[in-house]
Chains A and B, each alone.
Chain A
């Protein structure tokens, strides 16, 4: 197959950047999108041109490292897959393919198609954890978890933190990501201990990093490679409101000697 590629090239964070057109030929329909980019990069290296920088790691659809905004959709035209699981058979022969980095103020471009997603790490650091006792390994199923809650928590935990939700959202909102992390922990008894603090801290961090606000277009749900539902956003809103309105206050004890 033959493709015309319009790829975003940007030397570094300070560079203005722009689309550059490339042609690739003799591409197998069964090669993955990244294999096609690897072939392009081999051509560029042979020509003495700097190869296109893009993020990838496991190439198995489970790590959340890959990104790419392909023809107006994060992870390309297929539903429920990451870019590494996208194959060239999903495109027409001779098609022009636009490849751009995720666009969000909180995800600055480092080089070409690679963006800095450490904003997500900051959100996780602010509350995406549970406190556990040290010591021996507890027996399995010591803490009973209702099956429906465990199912819902597992669905939310499928989030790989790739950022497709932010990339697809017209407002560059991170609410699907944050809500899947909040839901995953809030649904389980182990996560209830810190649930009230967690949702407030994670939302506060999300807001301070400059992500937009949800306007319920549900582009995130449509584009999420793990097909995470916006039901999680509603759950996060409930958790947040409950924490703001009903959370118990710590008693302030004053000592006088």
Chain B
């Protein structure tokens, strides 16, 4: 093997790492969704605050928090690096646009990923950095009080709109991501590829619509 392949990850290794990190994020999203849906409980935020408190203090969760941030960074870093390498592999582009029959979502994973990343930046400023004390919380809200922070944000129509659009794109990203991750780690077989594809679509719909229900509920019932 030549020296360049020793110094950088091979195409398949980088894809597999990206897929595994992505699948970890996929599991985390379900936990996050479960906790967020507690916002809908009509108990003044008691159950939501309890769950958020557990996530913030439990030692096992704290270890997973490091893994989660690591996974997110690795997923984004390799994703960007691979995208640039891919673009460089066709220095002269076609004059006619591609008419090949592919799923349109699969071609725009980089773009949907960027939109999700922008939302994540906002999300960190609004919650995680506030919790750490890096960003000042809005007047009247204690920095650990995620419940009141959420209600305040969702009462802002502009924020809710940004939130909804971001989750539509997250849904697009996930719809392709889950089935593609299984293909990448080598799990594509006639026996179960159909199940994986359906599960991938269902997962994307459940996660995206699950998160999107929350601002709608606040707009309609609060």
Known contacts: A207-B10, A231-B189, A234-B187. The answer to whether A222 contacts B100 by CB under 8 A is yes
B94-114 toward A: CB 8 Å interface, digit per residue (1/0)? 111111111100110100000
Q: Is the interface of A mostly helix, strand, loop or mixed?
A: mixed
Range for the number of chain A residues in contact with chain B: 35 or more
- Report the minimal beta-carbon distance from B21 to chain A, rounded to whole angstroms: 15
A213-B85, A234-B186 in contact; A69/B10 too (CB < 8 A)? no
Stretch at the interface among B11-19, B54-62, B130-138, B164-172: B11-19
Q: In which size bucket is the chain B interface?
A: 35 or more
A106 within 8 A of partner (CB): yes
Q: Per-residue CB proximity of B32-44 to A under 8 Å, as 1/0?
A: 0000000000000
Q: Inside 8 A of A19's CB, which chain B residues have their CB?
A: 95
With A and B bound together, what is the CA distance between A212 and B82 in angstroms? 8
User: B173 contacts the other chain (Cβ, under 8 Å)?
Assistant: no
Residue of A at shortest CB range from B177? A216
**Residue B75 lies at the interface, judged by CB distance under 8 Å to chain A:** no
CA distance A6 to B96 in the complex (A): 10
A201 in the interface (beta carbon within 8 A): yes
Contact of A237 among B2, B99, B106, B186 (CB under 8 A): B186
CA distance A77 to B89 in the complex (A): 25
B11 & A213 in contact (Cβ 8 Å cutoff)? yes
Instruction: Enumerate 11 A-B pairs (CB-CB under 8 Å) in ascending A order.
Output: A69-B96, A98-B95, A204-B2, A207-B11, A212-B88, A212-B90, A213-B85, A215-B86, A230-B183, A233-B188, A234-B184
Interface residues of A (CB under 8 A from B): 6, 8, 19, 69, 71-74, 77, 98, 100, 103-106, 109, 168, 170-173, 175, 200-201, 203-204, 206-208, 210-219, 222-223, 230-231, 233-238, 240-241, 244
